[in-house]
Structure 1
Amino acid sequence: MQVKETQNEGLARGYQITLTGDELASKVDGKLKEAQPEVEMKGFRKGKVPMALLKKQFGQRLMGEAMQESIDGALSEHLQTSGDRPATQPKIEMENGENWKEGDDVVVNVQYEALPEIPELDLSKIKLERLKVKAGDEQITEALTNLAKNAQNFDDRKKGSKAKDGDQIVIDFKGMVDGEAFEGGAAEDYPLVLGSGSFIPGFEEQLVGVKAGDEVKVEVKFPEEYGAPHLAGKDAIFETTVKAVKAPKEAEIDDELAKKFGADDLDGLKAQISERLEAEYAGASRAVMKRALLDQLDGLVSFDLPQSLVDAEAGQIAHQLWHEENPDVQDHNHDSIEATDEHKKLAERRVRLGLLLADIGQKAEVSVSDQEMTQAVMTAARQYPGQERAFFEFVQQNQQAQQQLRAPIFEDKVVDHIAEGAKVEDKEVSKEDLEKAVEALDEL
């Protein structure tokens, strides 16, 4: 077997691998001899089938296996010797494939881009600022007020009062489509808050102004994208009886409210809120510091980037942004989307930082534990209620899906590792200052 370099320019690599006909024939004969003792064929005892017959029966398939094993072996040996790490799957083409016949040499051309050497960084020279926000009385009071609104009760309005937006009405209803009742379209003593959007569009609006004792026919049309296909786009009439009209009454901010949210008393609830708010502030602060860190890293290093990775990332960015601008298009049946110079510039930053963080993480032996992966899968599965098991099975069988979940965990752990070695100065700021810093973050 011969391996000849055909390209070595920047990160681009090219090699020509030649397997002689004799080498392939010898490899095939070796496979046949290895298999011969176990082969049974009509007219011959086990292990006594002649080599010529075995070659006629299995030779062509074994020739393909021998070619693949030889090429894979040669490429693996080359990568181990050279130290190259292909940025993407190497492109392998058989030069004389169309005219090749048994006995001929096999000539294969291999092309790939090697991952670049990443320069060493002194992480201790990185300086970061961590914004600190304390949960003040104003923020805690605001959160308590919101909790009281969510825990509101409803009191009966004066007899004859008309229902207003935000009121709760208690109703019996029965839905009809094409004159027939449908499953799930009826209920008794149903508490509906007007303006909550609990029912299909147009339903609640028609009940504003009703009084207890009123009987109303609510005429609506099910959305075209309604979850039940047999009702999607259909006109419906709901025969509705109003049994009560109730006005909202905010819960008192006291120990009873605290108990509704799992605290022993109001002071305990305030402590819980303070802890939750400061955790939220810390998360926002971390996002700001992470961006500052990435900006510093991006300015500290420079190395060649595999064009294949940049092109793929730019294409993905362009495609994602196009779909954000065209939310009505759910599938990918659209014209090709060309990446702009802005997309390519952003792609270069992402690829550069991705390679750098991967290198730092590898050298620091950063890893994602099974427990962290399980938690990530469980969190992602919540986005598919009722289909969690199917999602778990999909992830188990899909390496790409696993990598998509693992990558952000790995990146965050590398960022934490870098921050541990950097000079970090805490700075106390207001909630408003933190919000401004978060708003200033550009999408990456």
Structure 2
Amino acid sequence: MQVIETLAEGLKREIKVVIPAKDMEARMNERLADAKDKVRVNGFRPGKVPVGHLKKMYGKSIMADLVNEILREKPTSILSERGEKSATQPEIAMTEDEAEAEKILTAQADFEFTMAYEILPPIELKSVEGIKVVREVVDVSDEEVNEQILKISESARSFETKKGKAADGDRITMDYVGKVDGVAFDGGTDSDAELVLGSGRFIPGFEDQLIGTKAGDEKTITVTFPEDYPAKNLAGKEATFDVTVKDVAAPAAIEINDELATKLGIESLDKLKEIVRGQIESQYGNVTRQKVKRQILDQLDALYKFDAPSKLIDAEFDNIWRQINTDLAQSGKTFEDEDTTEEQAREEYRTLAERRVRLGLVLSEIGEKGGVEVSEDEMQRALFAQLQQFPGQEKQILDFFRNTPGASASLRAPLFEEKVIDKLLSEIDVTDKKVSKEELLADDEAEEGDKPAKKAASKKKAAAKADDAAEGEEAAPKKKAAPKKKAAEGDAE
């Protein structure tokens, strides 16, 4: 077998492999000799079938199997012998001419194929002594814990019927019929619907017009659906709702005590506070870690400058670009709405893809040289977390990971990366800094991967997550299903 390098340009390599016809024929004859005592052919006793007859009957199929085996096994062994690692699966090419293929299968011509690939660049690890990060830490106050408990307790709040007019925070029980141009629309009708005024569950303007009503009142409310309303047939349209108020109830006071904890399914107030505090700390801890991780990656990015395999960059860019276009389509926006152009966005995200690939290779090298491994138990826990995200689809998810090549790598990669970050945190200079909640959640830049016009939005998302910190499954029972909710939104939500 001849292995000839035909291209060595940067990270790109191309190899031509030639296996002489006589070698292919010899391997085929070995298979035929082995099959001689096993096959049954009419007219011949077992073990007495002439090799020439077997060759005529099975030669081509055996040769085809040999070709497939070579294409499956040789690229790996060739890379190993050359001491190279391919960034992606090598691209294999062989003749597509039927006449030439026929000659190969009958051992009349040498078997030739080429393999094209990009090698992973050699990375010389540098000292991490100069890397310094600031880890922002927030102390969770008793006041914040109590505030979150009050938010959670809304699901357990009771209401008592009152006389007089409805005020903000009161619960109204009502019947309503929604109409556009005088015609009732699907999803706009309900009976005995309950709505807490000020909850923001209905479209803007609906709840405000119910303030001051009382039991027995009939009122027609006029509102306009938002332009970005999910139901296109209602978006931007004016609608009226004929409302009959059946009951007005005032909220009972909430006291943070053992009784409240019991209503929420927790054994005691102390245990409830412990759970809520832990959830808030976990949320803040996630934000802290992401900010620390970004500091580490920024400094690694400055330390390591090398060309990354273009195919890896292309694949990463395609993933990013697909998500960007999905986000734009869902929001009904264009690149111009985001104060950029498609060309500028492509350039920006191409740069981001290159950075991600390069840093991924650096972290992989650090982890490999540092002996970082992901255990089977950790993989199982990650898989279980995936299953929890798709209740009722457990079998499909398991089948996907079992039958899809590379699927398990999608579980392993983020685990490996986080363990490498942990390793770096144990080696670099880390300074803890006490900050307020507002300081922790403030950020001058959009997170890596955010669109330029989404910088402010990323802050709001982070703040929202922290505000909802205590609403975990352990402390809060599942919310009751809303009564055919959102009068003005109906079923089109």
Using the size of structure 2 for normalisation, the TM-score is: 0.72
Q: Which amino acid aligns with 1:364?
A: G
CA distance in 2, matches of 1:11, 1:253: 65
Determine the structure 1 residue equivalent to 2:121. Answer: 116
Determine the structure 1 residue equivalent to 2:147. Answer: 142
Please report how far the alpha carbon of residue 352 of structure 1 lies from its aligned counterpart in structure 2 after TM superposition. Answer: 0.4
CA distance in 2, matches of 1:213, 1:150: 27
Q: Which digits, 9 at most, give the CA deviation of each residue in 1:170-222, with x for residues without a partner? A: 6899xxxxxxxxxxxxx9988665787989x99x98x9688768999xxxxxx
Please report how far the alpha carbon of residue 296 of structure 1 lies from its aligned counterpart in structure 2 after TM superposition. Answer: 0.7
Please report how far the alpha carbon of residue 107 of structure 1 lies from its aligned counterpart in structure 2 after TM superposition. Answer: 2.0
Q: Which amino acid aligns with 1:10?
A: G
Determine the structure 1 residue equivalent to 2:45. Answer: 45
- Is the CA contact 1:151–1:250 (under 8 Å) kept in the aligned structure 2? no
Change (3 A) 1:147 1:353: same
Greater relative CO, 1 or 2 (CA 8 Å, sep 6+): 2
- SS of the aligned residue for 1:15 comes to strand
Determine the structure 2 residue equivalent to 1:312. Answer: 315
- What pairs up with 1:423-434 in 2 under 5 angstroms? 423-434=429-440
Determine the structure 1 residue equivalent to 2:288. Answer: 285
- Is the CA contact 2:87–2:120 (under 8 Å) kept in the aligned structure 1? yes
Q: 2:442 aligns with which of 427, 430, 436?
A: 436
- Is the CA contact 2:153–2:264 (under 8 Å) kept in the aligned structure 1? no
Determine the structure 2 residue equivalent to 1:106. Answer: 111
Determine the structure 1 residue equivalent to 2:481. Answer: none
- Is the CA contact 1:154–1:247 (under 8 Å) kept in the aligned structure 2? yes
Determine the structure 1 residue equivalent to 2:465. Answer: none
2:398 pairs with 1:395: no
Determine the structure 1 residue equivalent to 2:365. Answer: 359
Unaligned runs of 5+ in 1: 174-186, 217-222, 226-239, 330-336
- SS of the aligned residue for 2:37 comes to helix
Determine the structure 2 residue equivalent to 1:11. Answer: 11
- Is the CA contact 2:258–2:268 (under 8 Å) kept in the aligned structure 1? yes
Q: Which digits, 9 at most, give the CA deviation of each residue in 1:219-238, with x for residues without a partner? A: xxxx979xxxxxxxxxxxxx
Determine the structure 1 residue equivalent to 2:254. Answer: 251
- Structural RMSD (CA): 3.8
- Is the CA contact 2:156–2:264 (under 8 Å) kept in the aligned structure 1? no
Determine the structure 2 residue equivalent to 1:54. Answer: 54
- SS of the aligned residue for 1:144 comes to helix
Please report how far the alpha carbon of residue 121 of structure 1 lies from its aligned counterpart in structure 2 after TM superposition. Answer: 2.2
Using the size of structure 1 for normalisation, the TM-score is: 0.79
2:389 pairs with 1:383: yes
2:297 pairs with 1:294: yes
Q: Is the deviation greater in 395-404 or in 161-170? A: 161-170
CA distance in 2, matches of 1:40, 1:215: 92
Aligned length: 412
- SS of the aligned residue for 2:135 comes to strand
Please report how far the alpha carbon of residue 275 of structure 1 lies from its aligned counterpart in structure 2 after TM superposition. Answer: 3.0
Q: Which amino acid aligns with 2:353?
A: A
Determine the structure 1 residue equivalent to 2:36. Answer: 36
CA distance in 2, matches of 1:392, 1:257: 40
Please report how far the alpha carbon of residue 88 of structure 1 lies from its aligned counterpart in structure 2 after TM superposition. Answer: 0.9
Change (3 A) 1:265 1:36: same
Q: 2:349 aligns with which of 295, 319, 343?
A: 343
Change (3 A) 1:14 1:436: same
- Is the CA contact 1:17–1:71 (under 8 Å) kept in the aligned structure 2? no
- Is the CA contact 1:162–1:208 (under 8 Å) kept in the aligned structure 2? no
Q: Is the deviation greater in 6-15 or in 387-396? A: 387-396
Change (3 A) 1:211 1:48: farther
Q: 1:323 aligns with which of 321, 326, 338?
A: 326
- Is the CA contact 1:172–1:242 (under 8 Å) kept in the aligned structure 2? yes
- Is the CA contact 1:93–1:110 (under 8 Å) kept in the aligned structure 2? yes
Change (3 A) 1:38 1:360: same
Q: Which amino acid aligns with 1:308?
A: K
Q: Is the deviation greater in 379-388 or in 131-140? A: 379-388
CA distance in 2, matches of 1:275, 1:71: 55
- Is the CA contact 1:117–1:303 (under 8 Å) kept in the aligned structure 2? no
Please report how far the alpha carbon of residue 38 of structure 1 lies from its aligned counterpart in structure 2 after TM superposition. Answer: 1.0
Please report how far the alpha carbon of residue 162 of structure 1 lies from its aligned counterpart in structure 2 after TM superposition. Answer: 6.5
- Is the CA contact 1:291–1:441 (under 8 Å) kept in the aligned structure 2? no
CA distance in 2, matches of 1:57, 1:370: 48
Q: Which amino acid aligns with 1:31?
A: R
Please report how far the alpha carbon of residue 72 of structure 1 lies from its aligned counterpart in structure 2 after TM superposition. Answer: 4.3
CA distance in 2, matches of 1:143, 1:224: 33
Q: Which digits, 9 at most, give the CA deviation of each residue in 1:370-422, with x for residues without a partner? A: 22222222322333233233223222222333222221111111111111111
Q: Which amino acid aligns with 1:295?
A: D
Determine the structure 2 residue equivalent to 1:25. Answer: 25
Determine the structure 2 residue equivalent to 1:372. Answer: 378
Percent identity over paired residues: 40
Q: Which amino acid aligns with 2:322?
A: H
- SS of the aligned residue for 1:303 comes to coil
Q: Which digits, 9 at most, give the CA deviation of each residue in 1:52-79, with x for residues without a partner? A: 2221221111111222333444433321
- Is the CA contact 1:148–1:252 (under 8 Å) kept in the aligned structure 2? no
Q: Which amino acid aligns with 2:122?
A: E
Determine the structure 1 residue equivalent to 2:476. Answer: none
CA distance in 2, matches of 1:78, 1:380: 37
Q: Which digits, 9 at most, give the CA deviation of each residue in 1:287-334, with x for residues without a partner? A: 1100000001111112221111112222222221111111179xxxxx
